[in-house]
Amino acid sequence: MNTLYHTTYESPLGPVLLLGTATHLRGLYFVGQKRQPALPAESTASDAPFGEVKRQLDVYFKGRSDGFDVPLELAGTPFQQTVWRALQAIPRGQTVTYAQLAQRIGRPTATRAVALANACNRISIIIPCHRVIGSNGSLTGYAGGLERKSRLLALEAGPRE
Which amino acids are annotated catalytic? Answer: 129
Q: How many CA atoms lie within 13 A of 64 on its CB side?
A: 7
Spatial CA neighbour of 16 closest among 28, 33, 4: 28
Distance CA 21, CA 161 (A): 32
Reduced DSSP (H G I as helix, E B as strand, rest coil) percent helix, strand, coil of the chain, to 5: 35, 15, 50
Residue ranges of the alpha helices (H) in 48-108? 51-61, 78-88, 98-104
